[in-house]
Structure 1
Amino acid sequence: MSATSLGNVTVFMVISRGPRASENAPARVFAFSHQLELTLSDNLITGSLPEETLEELRQAKKVLEHHGIADRLTEMIGTPVTASLKMLPDSVESAIHQAIEKSLHVALDVALRTLGDDKDSANGASRGKPKLLTHKLLAGLSGAAGGALGGATVAAELPVSTVLILRSVADIARSEGEDLSELESRLACLEVFALDPGQSSDIDDETEIGYFAVRAAMAKQIKDASQYIVQHGIRDSAAPPLVRLVTQIGKRFGVVVSEKVAAQAIPIIGAVGGALINSYFIDHYQDIARAHFTIRRLEREHGESLVREAYGQIKLRQRPRRVTDRNA
């Protein structure tokens, strides 16, 4: 008989040593013990967090791992956005790329120069419930022009809506206890633009990556940008560490913007539809921000490793993979 101790649980196993005992018995016992240890370990991890915390994690994971903006827009307009993506002319795609780069540089400048100016931020105080409706209405107004005039307005409209989203994200961050006088918290607001679910990795377009994988991929760029800003200030937004950060975010944000522009370019959309799409756009990132900063709050309260382990154990219903390949 052997005993395996798993935390406060001891498992006893009887091992046959007779002449007919299989040579592989020790291996089978080890495999059984290892699997049992994993199962009990999972239960111990989830059991160490309060149920209300686990429910917050479930709701956050549902947002961060489930529906991307293309799914939401398709549900709204009744037409697959991916079909419209194939019809975007090269000139519009080029305009989108330039607008994304400009928008994220503007957003970075706003994040670094103004998000920490609020008195509540300086004191590390929460502002209670975020005021989301104002940002949503303003985004709707900027989207009305995009819907009425088509994709040609993206260069003028996108920087406006991006900054509105960033302001809204910062409001949500404060409500979850973030101190925006801290540089890392301000860059975490910018990180939200890279967190749209349902996107693929840069290595393999068929491999979707999860929330924590994106955060891990962003960690080096955020660290390098933070170190540069601490040492040199924010005089030069074209400094290599800042450019690399914007480029990394832009790879993922660009997919979402292309999907939004494709939806607005559908002839039947018009000004009213354009306003509604922009409202969906900001609502989508508000949801992501709320989930993102909820998890960051829980990490501060319970520890990063425990929260990440529990997050990984939460199972969601699988959604069908959507096709985003324009050449398909």
Structure 2
Amino acid sequence: MTELVTIDPETDQDLILLARRYRKAGGVGMQVLNLVGGQAENLLERLPDAVKDRLESATEQALTTALRAASRSRSVVPDQRSWLNVAMTTAMGAAGGAGGLPSALVELPVTTTVLLRIIQGVAADYGFDPQTEAIQKECLAVFSSAGPLAADDGADMAFLAARVTLTGATMHAAIARVAPRLAAVLGQKLAAQTLPVIGAATGAATNFAYTSYYQEIAHVHFGLLDLGRRRGLQPEQMRQLLAQAMTAL
């Protein structure tokens, strides 16, 4: 364990808490890997070629629709507690997995919308306005992390070191930039849900994992932005401090 040296003890403690959330986020996918019995990168091979070929364009379309629907719903439906978000998407995943690939394809954009809405809710918890374009882009950036089925046990340092740059991009360009990576992430989820016999159980487990993961990553993302705002530090400085805190766990 290395000693964390940063600005002040209060900031140290905030960073350690965020680092623990980050580490926790990566552990939730292991139950899915145990259930499907294989490595996540092999899941995509289970999908028909026609689905794989359309995955990126379908993801981009789903993101566009999800962003619009999630933003509009905020004036109608209040943000929910974390456990209720998990329970709701878990039930959706079970329903999507029960019917194999056809029902999983129908469920995927709905879950994408709910996940994005959850991320927006976390942004609001930290005092950011999810209705502004800048924060909507930050919500999209949360989706650029590797996802809960990444094989690095939660230490997805690419999220810290090579974050997708969305500053200055139009919303359409921002979605187009995030879509390829998210397509691979959601493709793993889709493939896991289509397993024969245990499709419903896998669908529930994958949605549990994805909701838990993105809630935690959203807390890390917007927690860092908020901490940087309060401490007068740039996002890149905060990411470096979080990477340092990760080594102190």
Number of the residue aligned with 1:8: none
Alignment partner of 1:245 out of 153, 174, 178: 174
Alignment partners' CA distance in 2, 1:119 and 1:262: 31
Report the counterpart of residue 19 of structure 2 in structure 1: 58
Structure 1: runs of 5 or more not aligned: 1-41, 121-126, 201-207, 226-241, 318-328
Q: CA deviation at 1:254?
A: 1.0
Please name the residue that 1:96 is paired with: 55
How far did 1:224 drift? 2.3
Q: CA deviation at 1:165?
A: 0.8
Give the Cα–Cα distance (whole angstroms) in 2 for the partners of residues 262 and 179 of structure 1. Answer: 34
Matched, 1:298 2:245: no
Separation in 2 of the partners of 1:119 and 1:80? 38
Q: Quick one: structure 1 residues 297 and 277, their matched pair in 2 at CA, closer, same or farther if it must change by over 3 Å?
A: same
- In the alignment, which residue of structure 1 is the partner of 2:159? 211
The alignment's C-alpha RMSD in Å is: 3.4
1:283 aligns with 2:242: no
| Per-residue deviation, 1:301 | 1.3
Could you give the per-residue CA deviations for residues 36-90 of structure 1, whole angstroms, max 9, x where no partner exists? xxxxxx84x35565442232242244357x5685x55214444333333223220
Q: Secondary structure at the match of 1:267?
A: coil
Give 1:179-194 correspondences, 5 Å limit: 179-194=129-144
Partners of 2:213 and 2:51 in 1: how far apart? 23
State percent identity of aligned pairs: 26
Match of 1:85 among 44, 51, 65: 44
Alignment CA distance shift 1:143-1:116 (3 Å): closer
Query: Aligned-pair distance for 1:298?
Result: 0.9
Instruction: Give the corresponding residue for 1:151.
Output: 101
Judge conservation of contact 1:169–1:286 (CA < 8 Å) in 2: yes
| Aligned pair partner of 1:74 in 10, 33, 54 | 33
Unaligned runs of 5+ in 2: none
Distance 1:271 1:154, change over 3 A: closer
**1:173 partner amino acid:** A
Structure 2 distance, partners of 1:85, 1:119, is 35
1:174, distance to aligned residue in structure 2 (A): 1.5
Q: Which has the higher contact order (CA 8 A, sep 6+)?
A: 2
- Specify the alignment match of 2:117 in structure 1: 167
Q: Which runs of 4+ in 1 moved over 6 A?
A: none
Which protein shows a greater Rg? 1
- C-alpha displacement at 1:92, in angstroms? 2.5
Residue identity in the other structure for 1:283: S
Deviation at 1:311, TM superposition (A): 2.1
TM-score in terms of structure 1 length: 0.62
Match of 2:91 in 1: 141
Residue 72 of structure 2 corresponds to: 114
Residues 22, 217 of structure 2: 8 Å contact kept? no
